[in-house]
Homo-oligomer: A and B are copies of this chain.
Amino acid sequence: MHLALSALAFLATLYLVPKVAAKTLSRGLFGLDINKRGTAAGEARVPEAVGLAAGVAFLGATILSQAALEAGAAASHAALGCCSAALLLGFVDDVLDVPWRVKLFLPALAALPLLSAYTGATGVVVPLPLRPLLGESFLELGNLYRLYMLALAVFATNSINILAGVNGLEAGQTLLLALSCGLHNLAQLAGDGGGPERRAAHEQSLALVAPLAAVTAGLLCFNSYPAAVFVGDTFTLFAGMALACAGVLGHYSETLLLLFLPQVINFVYSLPQLAKIVPCPRHRLPKRDPGTGLLHGSDDLNLLNLSLRLSGPRSERDTATNLLIFQALTAAATFGVRWLAAGWWKV
Residues facing B in A66-91 (CB within 8 A) are 66-67, 70, 72-74, 77-78, 80-81, 84-85, 87-88, 91
Segment with Cβ contacts to B, from A112-120, A157-165, A280-288: A112-120
In the complex, which of the residues B59, B64, B73, B97 contacts A85, with contact meaning CB atoms closer than 8 Å? Answer: B59
Which residues of chain B have C-beta atoms less than 8 A from A64's C-beta?
A: 109, 112
Query: Does the CB pair A116–B67 fall under 8 Å?
Result: yes
Q: Is A3 an interface position by the 8 A CB rule?
A: no
In the complex, which of the residues B24, B67, B74, B81 contacts A112, with contact meaning CB atoms closer than 8 Å? Answer: B67
A220 to B264, alpha carbons, bound, how many Å? 44
Which residues of chain B have C-beta atoms less than 8 A from A73's C-beta?
A: 74
Query: Does the CB pair A72–B70 fall under 8 Å?
Result: no
Report how many copies the assembly holds: 2
In the complex, which of the residues B20, B88, B96, B117 contacts A24, with contact meaning CB atoms closer than 8 Å? Answer: B96
Secondary structure type dominating chain A contacts: helix
Which residues of chain B have C-beta atoms less than 8 A from A27's C-beta?
A: 95-96
In the complex, which of the residues B28, B77, B81 contacts A28, with contact meaning CB atoms closer than 8 Å? Answer: B28
A113 to B70, alpha carbons, bound, how many Å? 10
Which B residue sits closest to A97, measured CB to CB? Answer: B23
Which residues of chain B have C-beta atoms less than 8 A from A117's C-beta?
A: 72, 74, 77
Residue numbers of A with Cβ under 8 A of B are: 20, 23-24, 27-29, 52, 59-60, 63-64, 66-67, 70, 72-74, 77-78, 80-81, 84-85, 87-88, 91-92, 95-97, 109-110, 112-113, 115-117
Could you list some 14 contacts between A and B, CB below 8 A? A24-B96, A27-B95, A28-B28, A64-B109, A66-B116, A67-B113, A77-B78, A77-B81, A78-B80, A78-B81, A80-B81, A81-B81, A81-B84, A91-B92
